[in-house]
Amino acid sequence: MSWIPFKIGQPKKQIVPKTVERDFEREYGKLQQLEEQTKRLQKDMKKSTDADLAMSKSAVKISLDLLSNPLCEQDQDFLNMVTALDTAMKRMDAFNQEKVNQIQKTVIEPLKKFGSVFPSLNMAVKRREQALQDYRRLQAKVEKYEEKEKTGPVLAKLHQAREELRPVRDDFEAKNKQLLDEMPRFYNSRLDYFQPSFESLIRAQVVYYSEMHKIFGDLTQQLDQPGHPDEHRERENEAKLSELRALSIVADD
């Protein structure tokens, strides 16, 4: 949302105090920043949930691919291990989907709804600027007749110009006052609006990672073999890899 004041001729009279213009620009600037932050947060949350879903779906696919590996038909221990992994990945995916649904409902949708009000605000600002443009134009017209010699035709035109000016001035002042009153209220409302969403986001993450701790704790207990620390497994893998490299079909030419 961007605001560029109309470039028109200025009347000699300062029709809008500089302090009022500064207040308006400050409050509107805060809302412009809020709109940009809201859009960015909504986009980042969507990217995050999409990435979460892709991760858990990929994990499930990997475990299914392992289950279809011929080794599972030949080695019961390997089959048991992969089956345990597959069960864990499916549980993870289910909880992940639940978390993403919760975030979509309580965070992303409220962000989207909050962002939908900014176009209306933008139009209100444009209407205010159009009213100010009309106000300046008619004020300049009044000043032009006030500077002329006070003949009958000039006085008639001056009276007409003042009559034209009055409702336009009142319209601008009403629009200006409404925006100056409501923009700070709208900006301050963001705290009460977003706090429940962010609390829900934190709770969803806490529940998810608590469940992940349980799932992978259970998986660790099923896979761990007493007396076989990681260092031992690494040495075994290296020894088996050396045997494979020694085969003629994989030897370097």
Task: Give the span between the Cα atoms of 250 and 253, in whole angstroms.
Answer: 9
The secondary structure of 17-37 as a DSSP string is -HHHHHHHHHHHHHHHHHHHH
pLDDT in tens, the chain (253 residues): 444 444 445 677 788 899 999 999 999 999 999 999 999 999 999 999 999 999 999 999 999 998 888 878 788 888 888 999 999 999 999 999 999 999 999 999 999 999 999 999 999 999 999 999 999 999 999 988 888 888 898 889 989 989 999 999 999 999 999 999 999 999 999 999 999 999 999 999 999 999 999 999 998 888 766 556 667 777 777 887 787 777 767 666 5
CA distances from 95 to 27, 81, 136, 215 (A): 42, 21, 61, 10
Task: Give the span between the Cα atoms of 244 and 246, in whole angstroms.
Answer: 5
Question: What spatial distance separates the first Cα and last Cα of the chain, rounded to whole Å?
Answer: 66
Q: What is the largest CA-CA distance in the chain?
A: 115
Q: Which of 145, 114, 174, 127 is nearest to 12 (CA)?
A: 145
Task: Give the span between the Cα atoms of 137 and 132, in whole angstroms.
Answer: 9
**What is the Cα gyration radius of the chain?**
35
